[in-house]
Structure 1
Amino acid sequence: MTTPITTEALAKKVVNQEKIRILDVRNTDEFDDWKIEGENVEIINEPYFNLLDGIEPVTGKLTKDQEVIVVCAKGGSSQMVAELLEEEGGFSKVLNLEGGMKAWSEHLEPVKIADLKQGGSLYQFVRLGKGCLSYMVESDGEAAIIDISRMIEKYEAFAKDKGVQIKHLIDTHLHADHISGGRALAEKTGGTYHLPPKDATEVTYDYTALEEGNDITVGNTKVKVQPIYSPGHTIGSTSLIIDDHYLLTGDILFVKSIGRPDLAGKAEDWVGDLRHSLYKRYKELSEDLIVLPAHYSFAEELSEGGSVSARLGDLYQRNEGLQVDSEEVFKKMVTENLPPQPNAYQEIRETNMGKITPEDEKQREMETGPNRCAVHG
């Protein structure tokens, strides 16, 4: 029986930048759209049906004394290929990723960002298979979670381990690429769910307005919503300043890119807001703020410890999306030649509005694929 490897174990290898050899046996179009990535990940794609008559198509591409991790969509086809590699190829160590890419998409890897000046800590949850980033601020027995993924049990377990009570669930905007777990976790814990009111005009549920001037206190730490109403990705997008040092930008600004304004069909209307947020409002802030975005696009954005962050002043020097002097050129960049829109983004938006309630398996299908919230200059 081939040895399994869990998503947790594989995530540790990726975060620690270990050398990893992966054989992905999904169809090529699925592989090209979305794959496991990391600083030292070497990955080979050979569709499962090419290996039904034997493993010859991959024997020249794999080293027999090196560990091989076999991956497919759900873990079944990869199990059979892994057994073939052991039986026919004499490979010394073959592992099968349990649950395949479906499970990989749902794994959350918690990384500590910092101890906070006023007491407490800030954590980043890295969703390696999706590029989503969410956050927990914990202080004096209380916690706030920002831009929550739908796998709420992961946050619950982490909070329990830290001995903190979840008091606030915050979405920086109405998400279009993943289903928010904010409302579900608020209902389960009795916490307060916060959403920018300009993004909530069509929602079917009660919420607390996330807007400038309404600071949220977590234990001894103030989560400052002011001074940044930062529209552009959505009309309600709101950034958070934590502990006077950390800037949670949602999907407005990333480490290597900027937010796209088209996921609600409002690209032409919102491009001016996006430019104003990035080129004026953020410019008024301290260059020493540490930017913590809600997504990342490239494996090289992960630090050695597995976190994603950058100093705001540094981004104004090296992020191409922040260096476009011409408004017309900027407008073209963020409205033309954009990457494909996220899978099922309209259904995801409707789910996050409360208009539809898909079954769990349908929700997984809707989220399949990479994050596509960014514009790359």
Structure 2
Amino acid sequence: MSVQEITAKTIADFVIKKKKLFILDVRNESDFNDWKIEGKSIQILNKPYFDMLEGVDEIIDEIPRDIPILVVCAKEGSSKFVAEMLKESGIKDVMYLKGGMKAWSDHLEPIKVGDLSNGGSVYQFVRIGKGCLSYMIASEGEAIVIDAGRTIEPFITFAKEKGVTIKHAIDTHLHADHISGGRKLREETGAAYWLPPKDAEEVVFEFNGLTETSNLKLNGTQIDIIYSPGHTIGSTSILVDNEYLLTGDILFVQSIGRPDLAGRAGDWASHLRETLYSRYKEMSENLMVLPAHFSHITELGTDGSVSEKLGVLFTQNDGLQIEDESDFHKRVSENLPPQPNSFQEIRKTNMGKINPNEDEQQEMEIGPNRCAIN
């Protein structure tokens, strides 16, 4: 019996617009507990595929009849099989996720988040299933891409649609939760690739060192580089047009960056505090903070983007309310969430030390980003 397939882009629309949806996730319990599709109006049930090989009678009474039903698995095949059984059992509005949770992990949603003083624009690419955020700054026919994920086609396609040439690709730090697309953008577009040199001591490929003296030019738009260590020793922020502060993994909307992913939490906690409580504190409260990640679906705005004024974060972000320095050190180095899946292999890939194939890279990235302290 034929069942409708649905794309990750359509599911992103359900999440962003808070449409009602019931999800039957047929992955095993541990994978489900590690990472799942979430949304304010989404109901979800986990029932492993292998428990339903003989049929869906056991769960049929738990399936609502008044909202759409989506069946998901890791890759697609199991969810399609279960969706067909549900339809044969009388469930009419049932679908399965094309490409499974791997497709959900990779999907990028481009959203305009601001205008530049010269008529250009700032775009945020929301990787909603992974919690990753990338950016394109477009100005007078040229563009900079910041913290690109490994799937670069959306950036190249979007640049063509907007009539801009990608001139620079920047990583604000050496990423540990996802594989950077910066080098691939250089290979495909001829863009200059920039990486903070303090994060690149073990990198085995050529790059442009991103420092406060770097002269990055984008037609008519001011780009300032701000050294802001703490998440990594090389972490760097980008100030665009004196209005948008791209904070990388240092500062998020509801949390702050963790300093432990290179095994240096004790050493880097002081840098993190200095960046957050001194350097950022000296900056304008009206700056719009654009982070490189989000941890919770509640951080999404009504349009699906993630941002907040710096002044608001200094009053509402718990990570910016820890007055005692010793308490701060303890908070950012103890009882942290689990580290990102395969983070050591991802770091080595981003250094150029290993070269996994596309399927291996996709598998390495499965799961949440876990770059915040909570």
Q: TM-score range by the shorter chain?
A: over 0.9
Task: Please give the secondary structure, in 2, of the residue aligned with 1:130.
Answer: coil
Residue identity opposite 2:330 in structure 1: K
Equivalent residue in structure 2 for 1:370, among 365, 368, 372: 368
Alpha carbons 1:65, 1:92 under 8 Å: kept: no
Over the matched positions of the two proteins, sequence identity in percent amounts to 58
Q: Does 1:223 align with 2:223?
A: yes
Deviation at 1:42, TM superposition (A): 1.5
* Most deviating of 215-224 and 325-334: 215-224
Deviation at 1:215, TM superposition (A): 4.1
Distance 1:115 1:21 in 2: 37
Matches within 5 A, 1:247-326: 247-326=245-324
Task: Please give the secondary structure, in 2, of the residue aligned with 1:357.
Answer: coil
Deviation at 1:57, TM superposition (A): 2.8
Task: Please give the secondary structure, in 2, of the residue aligned with 1:349.
Answer: helix
Q: Does 1:24 align with 2:22?
A: no
**TM-score of the superposition, structure 2-length normalised?**
0.98
CA displacement 1:63-90 (0-9 Å, x = unmatched): 12321011000010000110011001x1
Distance 1:40 1:218 in 2: 41
Residue identity opposite 1:297 in structure 2: S
Tell me, which stretches of 5 or more residues in structure 2 are unaligned? none
CA displacement 1:264-287 (0-9 Å, x = unmatched): 111111010001001100000001
Residue identity opposite 1:51 in structure 2: M
Alpha carbons 1:248, 1:292 under 8 Å: kept: yes
Task: Please give the secondary structure, in 2, of the residue aligned with 1:291.
Answer: strand
Distance 2:42 2:293 in 1: 20
Alpha carbons 1:193, 1:208 under 8 Å: kept: yes
Q: How many residues align?
A: 373
Matches within 5 A, 1:122-161: 122-161=122-161
Distance 1:62 1:95 in 2: 13
Distance 1:115 1:271 in 2: 34
Deviation at 1:38, TM superposition (A): 1.8
* Most deviating of 52-61 and 139-148: 52-61
* Most deviating of 309-318 and 15-24: 15-24
Residue identity opposite 1:72 in structure 2: C
Residue identity opposite 2:290 in structure 1: L
Distance 1:247 1:344 in 2: 29
Tell me, which stretches of 5 or more residues in structure 1 are unaligned? none
Matches within 5 A, 1:1-377: 1-88=2-89, 90-225=90-225, 228-376=226-374
Distance 1:222 1:92 in 2: 55
Distance 1:206 1:191 in 2: 13
Residue identity opposite 1:22 in structure 2: I
Alpha carbons 1:17, 1:304 under 8 Å: kept: no
Task: Please give the secondary structure, in 2, of the residue aligned with 1:224.
Answer: strand
Runs of 4+ in 1 over 6 A off after TM superposition: none
Deviation at 1:253, TM superposition (A): 0.5
Residue identity opposite 2:189 in structure 1: T
* Most deviating of 7-16 and 167-176: 7-16
Deviation at 1:60, TM superposition (A): 2.2
CA displacement 1:339-358 (0-9 Å, x = unmatched): 11111111111111111111
Deviation at 1:119, TM superposition (A): 2.0
Residue identity opposite 1:33 in structure 2: D
Distance 2:244 2:292 in 1: 13
**TM-score of the superposition, structure 1-length normalised?**
0.97
